[in-house]
């Protein structure tokens, strides 16, 4: 049986230049291009956001490939770049990851055979139906003669759909990452902005997407707890549609409008923000009751839904933690063509695209 080790290979070995990070979410396409400003330091060269047709992407599945590809093409054209190499990601829920122990000193081909053998135990699909990759993490803590290896596998159709979308948009997909890995890369930039860079402290990374909120508790880069809850920005869009009799695209425009109706803040926006704060507080309570921890020092808010006004204050009031909007670009050099204030406002929604673009700088 021939196993495809290539399609996900760039998760761990992306030595490719230049590169655009492409995040295809449920509601929009977001692109970020980073270049080397010198000494390996990234500079934001370009970015763009393009709305997707409603239900073109559902639960991470590309339901309308051509419509998604057309939005990707428009987003790329809006950026005004000549770079066609892109990094994309499959949803974390679509990827099986497992740490395994293998003998140290194996050649790559020997390791592939061993990984294939180990994968049979952990993957509930036929191996010819998946894309498989692995990365040596380092020496095994329990045995100096062994190494820890991270195995990642995804059903081929989840990878293939994203490849097709990129190719229909006349782009060249060269990195296929995992959303959680890419967001973690961007979070490392945000962590540098915390007191003592967050060392020894409990940090909640809260990613509020269109249909789900993912809460990840971290301490010194170690993942302590993950919870996903059915709450997202689509709920605000639906309420706007109901309250004002608007279509989906009109409702999305109103969310971004600086001049909403007079009753919008009190009757629509405020209840949504309070619900978000309640969801975050509930997730933290689940963490406290399932662990020995009793406090969270910092809450980092990411995702497009956190861009609405009042989020930070509402969550701070509910949790008594230090709450900040994620900005992986803070302190990063910015190309003159980019408006710094607008980039800072959009930054929480660009975490995944930024993490994908950072693959250009991986050693």
Q: Tell me the per-residue pLDDT of 142-162, one tens digit each, with 9 for 90 and over.
A: 888 899 888 888 888 888 999
Please report the DSSP string for 259-316 in residue order: S--TTHIIIIIHHHHHHHHHHHHHHHHHHHHTSS----SEEEEESGGGGSTTHHHHHH
Predicted pLDDT of residue 331: 86
Token pair 């803590």 is found at: 141
The Cα–Cα gap between 217 and 233 comes to 21
- How confident is the model over 8-12, as a mean pLDDT? 44
273 backbone dihedrals φ, ψ, rounded to 5°: -65, -40
Which two three-digit tokens encode residue 283? 């997730």
Structure tokens, 173: 């997909």
* Domain with residues 9-91+159-182+349-361, CATH architecture: 2-Layer Sandwich (3.30)
* Local confidence band at 64 (pLDDT 50, 70, 90 cut-offs): confident
What pLDDT score was predicted for residue 353?
97
**Quick one: pLDDT at residue 2?**
36
Q: Dump pLDDT digits (tens) for 16-37.
A: 468 999 999 988 999 999 998 8
pLDDT tier at 363, thresholds 50, 70, 90? low
Round to whole Å and give the CA distance between 71 and 58.
15
Q: How far apart are CA 207 and CA 232, in angstroms?
A: 9
Q: Read off the pTM.
A: 0.86
Give the number of residues written for the chain: 363
User: Average pLDDT, stretch 276-293?
Assistant: 95
What does the block give as tokens for 202? Answer: 């409990």
The DSSP code for 52 is P
Q: Is the pLDDT of residue 104 over 80?
A: yes
Q: What is the mean pLDDT of residues 97-123?
A: 85
Q: Please, how many CA atoms are within 13 Å of residue 4, restricted to the half-sphere of its CB?
A: 16
Residue range 250-258: mean pLDDT, rounded: 80
> What torsion do the CA atoms of 88, 324, 284, 288 make, to the nearest 10 degrees?
110
Q: What is the mean pLDDT of residues 176-190?
A: 90
**Mean pLDDT score, 225-239:** 91
Percent of residues, the chain, with pLDDT higher than 90: 53
Query: Burial letters for 25-62: b for 16+ Cβ neighbours within 10 Å, e otherwise?
Result: bbbbbbbbbbbeeeeeebbbbbbbbbbbebebbeebeb
Calculate mean pLDDT across residues 178-198. 91
- CATH of 194-326 among 3.30.70.20, 3.20.20.70, 3.40.50.300, 3.30.420.40: 3.30.420.40
Break the chain into its structural domains and give their ranges.
Answer: 9-91+159-182+349-361, 93-156, 194-326
CATH topology of domain 93-156: Dna Ligase; domain 1 (3.30.1490)
**How sure is the predictor about 84, in pLDDT bands with cuts at 50, 70 and 90?**
very high
Beta strand pairing status for 57-58 and 61-62?
A: antiparallel
Instruction: Enumerate the H helices of the chain as residue ranges.
Output: 65-79, 108-122, 156-168, 179-191, 234-244, 248-255, 264, 270-289, 311-319, 340-346, 351-357
Within this chain, domains 9-91+159-182+349-361 and 194-326 share the same CATH topology: yes
d(CA 212, CA 232): 5
Q: What is the pLDDT of residues 305-345, one digit of tens each?
A: 898 889 999 999 999 999 999 999 998 999 999 999 999 99
- pLDDT higher than threshold 60 for residue 202: yes
Reference 269, options 255, 279, 283; nearest CA is: 255
Is residue 13 over pLDDT 60? no
């Amino acid at each position: 049986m021939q196993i495809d080790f290539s399609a996900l290979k760039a998760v761990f070995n992306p030595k490719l230049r230049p590169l655009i990070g492409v995040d295809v979410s449920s509601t929009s396409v977001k692109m970020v291009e980073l270049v080397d400003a010198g000494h390996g330091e990234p500079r934001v060269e370009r970015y763009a956001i393009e709305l997707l047709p409603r239900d073109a992407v559902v639960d991470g599945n590309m339901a309308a490939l051509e419509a998604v590809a057309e939005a990707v093409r428009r987003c790329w054209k809006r950026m005004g770049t000549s770079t066609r190499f892109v990094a994309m990601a499959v949803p974390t829920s679509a990827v099986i990851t497992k740490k395994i122990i293998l003998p140290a000193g194996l050649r790559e081909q020997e390791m592939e055979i061993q990984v294939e053998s180990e994968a049979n135990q952990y993957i509930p699909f036929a191996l010819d139906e998946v894309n498989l990759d692995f990365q040596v993490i380092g020496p095994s803590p329990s045995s100096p003669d062994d190494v820890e290896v991270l195995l990642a596998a995804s059903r081929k159709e989840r990878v293939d759909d994203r490849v097709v979308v990129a190719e229909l948009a006349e782009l060249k997909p060269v990195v296929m990452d995992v959303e959680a890995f890419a967001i973690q890369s961007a979070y490392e930039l945000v962590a540098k902005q915390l007191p003592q860079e967050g060392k020894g402290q409990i940090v909640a990374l809260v990613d509020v997407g269109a249909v789900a909120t993912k809460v990840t508790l971290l301490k010194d880069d170690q993942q302590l707890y993950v919870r996903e809850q059915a709450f997202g920005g689509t709920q605000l869009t639906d309420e706007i549609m109901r309250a004002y009799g608007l279509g989906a695209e009109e409702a999305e425009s109103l969310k971004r409008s600086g001049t909403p109706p007079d009753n919008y803040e009190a009757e629509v926006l405020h209840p949504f923000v309070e619900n978000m704060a309640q969801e975050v507080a509930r997730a933290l309570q689940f963490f406290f009751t399932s662990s020995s921890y009793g406090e969270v020092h910092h809450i980092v808010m990411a995702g497009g839904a956190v861009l609405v006004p009042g989020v930070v204050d509402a969550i701070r009031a509910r949790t008594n933690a230090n709450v900040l909007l994620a900005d992986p670009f803070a302190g990063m050099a910015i190309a003159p063509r980019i408006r710094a204030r607008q980039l800072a406002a959009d930054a929480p929604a660009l975490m995944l695209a930024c993490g994908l673009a950072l693959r250009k700088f991986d050693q």
